[in-house]
Structure 1
Amino acid sequence: MLAVGLSAFGVGCGDDSDAAVSVDGAEPLGIGKEVTVPISAAVASVVQPGTEPRAQLRPRYSAGTRQQVTLRTDHKIEQQINDQPVRDFSTPSLTIPMTASAGVDGVDLTLGRVTTPDPSLNKALTAAGGSHAGFDFSDDGAITAMRIAPAPDTSNDARAALEQAFYQAVYRSIMFPDEPIGAGAIWTVHQEVDGGVALDQVTTATLTGVDGDRLTIDLHVVQKPKAAVWTLPNGAGALDIEDYTMEGTGTITVDLGLPLPVSGAITVGGHQAYRDPRSASNLQQTITTRVTWTE
């Protein structure tokens, strides 16, 4: 399956601009145990089947297949409330080397030494080496669940950083359509992304290269909110969504005989504007996320 990345959100409203509250999985899901998170269903539709020869594309790695791969995530947030100075709430980039071991319905991941440029977080991530994670897949390559099992001594900050990175890698996932396709094929994947603001996400995939089991796929991602209001968690009220633009592109290379992408990157970014109807406070954010895969 092709896992490529999740957009994150942060919000602070009213007069308190000291923190941005992330709603994309940045808070640890569980302590000292494995947590399984279901992923919303995705639907693939062929726009153009491509040239002959065509075939139904499906992952075909066997149980026990192993792969060494590195995931890197970068996430930048700039936020402004009313006319206050712009604040930077970016999270440090993470580089996560891992060993993937394929099972019958998914892949188990064992993490190596996770690193980041942030000295404090880098120290906290030392204990995360040897942590486990995983993805469950359907036959068409869609991720149906994400599993996270950090090592017991992993701190909350380190757990949160790892979980956010894997969320980013999940919600840029791409599945294959049921119909046979060939070089030049175009298909779309529709999926709901619930990161606080419920979004309709459409990923357009173009099969630009076929070399045996190695496929090169261009990706174009667009997100739009499903409603005009963002209901904040924990009864904190609601914000009117006045503007929301999130879009991005990238290219990945996958091998149908391996469980994860072998190379590639995708960058998604945009601008959001929210208004608190109770206080007339305005919140603006500029967000960019980038996910990179290397072997």
Structure 2
Amino acid sequence: MKLKLMPVLVALSLGVLSACGSHEPAPEAQQPVSLTVDAPKVTVLNAGEGAAEIVSFRDSGVTQQVAMEFSDSFEQGTGDVATLDPQPPAHPNVETLSAAVDATVSGESPRDVTLTMKDPKHSNIAYASDVYSTSGFQLSWTGQPTGRAEQVQLSAPANSTDQGRAVAELYLMKLLAQPIIFPEEPIAPGASWMVENRVAGDSTMLRNSTYRLVSRNGDLAELEVAVSERPAVSALNIGDQGGQGELKVMQSTSNGTGHFTIDLSKPLPTAGEFFLATRVVYGQDETQTRVFQDFGSGIKFS
């Protein structure tokens, strides 16, 4: 599995891709780590039909329990420009982390949400004990009633392992990478809007999510989403890795869809899922060798 995405390290003359993991020191146990979230851009594409209303969360003081399953995949390799499929694999080899999650919202302003992960289980037995040590791991954020997060904190239990904390962070941050944000403008059923955000971390990506309000009945809303992403940089300098020149992004293709049942009186979807698969192809103009990296990311609520 990918704990921290490796930089692309290529010796194109040999047709070989090599990589090494980045080993960042884990935060001190029980010492919250604060992160600032880049402000996403929200654009209404279609206001919908019928009576338009402001849609926002009204979950102050609420506690919610939900089962969640996070999925993640990463593969990389090389191929020939004439034969390499630009599309990501339809059925990537994913690993999953499942857990019960308690979500609480403070009764104060601004909106303050805290998620506590309980009894986490990982599909890869090699990480089972490390992941289980993170039971009690917390992800918190403050933000706006639209769903926009602004300030984030991560807090690990005292007895969690370094490996466990790294895994828990990787999976839980998928929630913030796929933000469910409503526009500030009034919308009606059938409305669609785009959320553009930067997914930082292993390999910074620019993600576009087009949401559609399928229906709304009071606090209950059904959403559909189509997701795509692309690298934030157009080329990588490989000189410091023993290569020559740049490795350019020759092509980037992604396919992502999802649906969510939202209760505006609760902080998390009560049901639904999404999955996004992306293939990024790197290369140089003077060679036919291509390097690909496949990413997969998903969340299921139940």
Query: Could you list the runs of 5+ residues in structure 1 that have no partner in the other structure?
Result: 1-7, 84-88
Q: 1:13 is matched with which residue: 9, 13, 21?
A: 9
Deviation at 1:137, TM superposition (A): 1.9
Q: 2:278 is matched with which residue: 270, 274, 277?
A: 270
Q: 2:253 is matched with which residue: 223, 239, 245?
A: 245
State the alpha-carbon separation in 2 of the partners of residues 39 and 29 from structure 1. Answer: 20
TM-score (norm 2): 0.81
- Flag the 1:268–1:286 CA change in 2: closer, same or farther, 3 A: same
TM-score (norm 1): 0.83
More moved, 172-181 vs 11-20: 11-20
Deviation at 1:177, TM superposition (A): 1.0
Query: Could you list the runs of 5+ residues in structure 2 that have no partner in the other structure?
Result: 81-91
Structure 1 stretches of 4+ with a deviation exceeding 6 A read 276-281
Q: 2:98 is matched with which residue: 84, 95, 100?
A: 95
Q: What SS does the aligned partner of 1:45 have?
A: strand
Q: What SS does the aligned partner of 2:133 have?
A: helix
Q: Deviations over 1:55-78 (max 9, x none)?
A: 101111122x10001221111222
Q: Deviations over 1:189-239 (max 9, x none)?
A: 12233345543322111000212201110001121334321358xx65853
- Flag the 1:47–1:18 CA change in 2: closer, same or farther, 3 A: closer
**Contact 1:112–1:129 at 8 Å: present in 2 too?**
yes
- The residue type equivalent to 1:66 in the other structure is T
**Contact 2:228–2:254 at 8 Å: present in 1 too?**
yes
State the alpha-carbon separation in 1 of the partners of residues 66 and 179 from structure 2. Answer: 16
- The 5 A counterparts of 1:254-265 are 254-265=262-273
Q: What SS does the aligned partner of 1:175 have?
A: coil
- The 5 A counterparts of 1:78-227 are 78-81=75-78, 92-103=95-106, 104=108, 105-195=111-201, 197-227=203-233
- Flag the 1:198–1:115 CA change in 2: closer, same or farther, 3 A: closer
- Flag the 1:101–1:60 CA change in 2: closer, same or farther, 3 A: same
Q: Deviations over 1:143-181 (max 9, x none)?
A: 223321111121121111111112211111121112111
- The residue type equivalent to 2:33 in the other structure is V
Root mean square deviation of aligned Cα: 3.0
State the alpha-carbon separation in 1 of the partners of residues 153 and 285 from structure 2. Answer: 38
Q: What SS does the aligned partner of 1:128 have?
A: coil
- Flag the 1:212–1:20 CA change in 2: closer, same or farther, 3 A: farther
State the alpha-carbon separation in 2 of the partners of residues 132 and 226 from structure 1. Answer: 29
Q: Would you say how many aligned residue pairs link Structure 1 and Structure 2? A: 278
Alignment match, 1:286: 294
Q: What SS does the aligned partner of 1:52 have?
A: coil
State the alpha-carbon separation in 2 of the partners of residues 227 and 120 from structure 1. Answer: 33
State the alpha-carbon separation in 1 of the partners of residues 264 and 76 from structure 2. Answer: 41
Q: Deviations over 1:86-119 (max 9, x none)?
A: xxx9673100211111023221122210001222
The percentage of counterpart residues that share the same residue type is 21
Alignment match, 2:73: 76
**Contact 2:43–2:195 at 8 Å: present in 1 too?**
yes
**Contact 2:273–2:301 at 8 Å: present in 1 too?**
yes
